[in-house]
């Protein structure tokens, strides 16, 4: 067993858990967009950030294993600022995603009034409406479930930077796709639908 302090309370957990799993087992809420129990997490969305005492940066709780005597804060001012910044960036990419809007509201981001946003978020949301607006947050869950669970490799990442997308190989119909719908099932923003892939 491992002793761990979360939000100033001490707990005992089994070895091999992540911070996110440990917190969830004690009903301590940590928001996340890209966590799915089917796939090993790798901290793609960065909304599940927490603060570990003595560490200079915030860490993703979904992919960080617990270790003895960790002191974790899930709701400090620093954590709230970090999550707010991340959700503002996601909103700038996916302003029409209801899932992200709802998560933003839960995190205290007013998606209607720029006054509640910091300068970066205000600029991204109000001034720089990108040409790549989409509901996809590039978490990669669909790509990973297609490769790791179904082993079909019908999806992958295409291009780089702000024009990066998730596409089929060579952006043509993937003959390896079996229409199982796993990609649609794991998509946190409902960007992929079974009708589109089958």
Residue 74 CB neighbour total at 10 angstroms? 20
Is residue 118 domain-shared with residue 173, that is, in the same domain?
no
Residue 139 CB neighbour total at 10 angstroms? 24
Reference 83, options 113, 51, 52, 112; nearest CA is 51
Is residue 90 domain-shared with residue 155, that is, in the same domain?
no
β-strand partners of 51: 73
Q: How many domains does the chain have?
A: 3
Q: Which domain holds residue 67?
A: 2-75
pLDDT in tens, 87-128: 988 888 888 888 999 999 999 887 775 444 444 444 444 444
Residue 8 CB neighbour total at 10 angstroms? 8
Q: How far apart are CA 13 and CA 2, in angstroms?
A: 5
Is residue 101 domain-shared with residue 155, that is, in the same domain?
no
Is residue 61 domain-shared with residue 93, that is, in the same domain?
no
Confidence of residue 132 (pLDDT cuts 50, 70, 90): very low
Contact 160, 103 (CB under 8 A): no
State residue 128's pLDDT score.
45
Residue 178 lies in a domain: yes
β-strand partners of 50: 59
CATH number of residue 56's parent domain: 3.10.20.740
Which helix H or strand E contains 71, and what residues bound it?
A: strand 70-73
3-class secondary structure, 167: strand
Q: How far apart are CA 72 and CA 94, in angstroms?
A: 30
State residue 37's pLDDT score.
87
Contact 116, 109 (CB under 8 A): yes
Residue 132 lies in a domain: no
pLDDT in tens, 4-58: 999 999 999 999 999 999 999 999 999 999 998 889 998 899 999 999 999 999 9
Q: Does 168 score more than 90 pLDDT? A: no
Instruction: Say which DSSP state 126 is in.
Output: I
State which of 127, 154, 188 marks the end of a domain.
127
Distance of CA 88 to the CA centre of its chain: 13
Residue 195 CB neighbour total at 10 angstroms? 8
Contact 58, 80 (CB under 8 A): no
Is residue 111 domain-shared with residue 163, that is, in the same domain?
no
Is residue 82 domain-shared with residue 68, that is, in the same domain?
no
């Amino acid at each position: 067993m491992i002793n761990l302090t979360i939000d100033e309370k001490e707990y005992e957990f089994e070895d091999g858990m992540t911070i996110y799993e440990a917190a969830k087992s004690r009903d301590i809420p940590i928001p996340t967009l890209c966590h799915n129990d089917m796939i090993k997490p790798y901290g793609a969305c960065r909304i599940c950030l927490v603060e570990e005492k003595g560490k200079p940066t915030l860490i993703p709780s979904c992919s960080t294993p617990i270790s003895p005597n960790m002191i974790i804060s899930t709701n400090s001012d620093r954590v709230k600022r970090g999550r707010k910044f991340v959700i503002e960036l996601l909103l700038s990419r996916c302003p029409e995603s209801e899932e992200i809007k709802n998560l933003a509201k839960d995190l205290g981001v007013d998606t209607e009034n720029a006054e509640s946003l910091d300068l970066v978020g205000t600029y991204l949301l109000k001034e720089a409406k990108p040409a790549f607006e989409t509901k996809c947050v590039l978490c990669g869950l669909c790509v990973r479930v297609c490769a790791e669970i179904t082993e079909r490799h019908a999806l992958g990442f295409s291009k780089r930077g702000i024009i990066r997308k998730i596409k089929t190989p060579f952006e043509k119909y993937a003959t390896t796709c079996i229409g199982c719908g796993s990609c649609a099932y794991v998509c946190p923003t409902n960007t992929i639908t079974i009708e589109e892939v089958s």
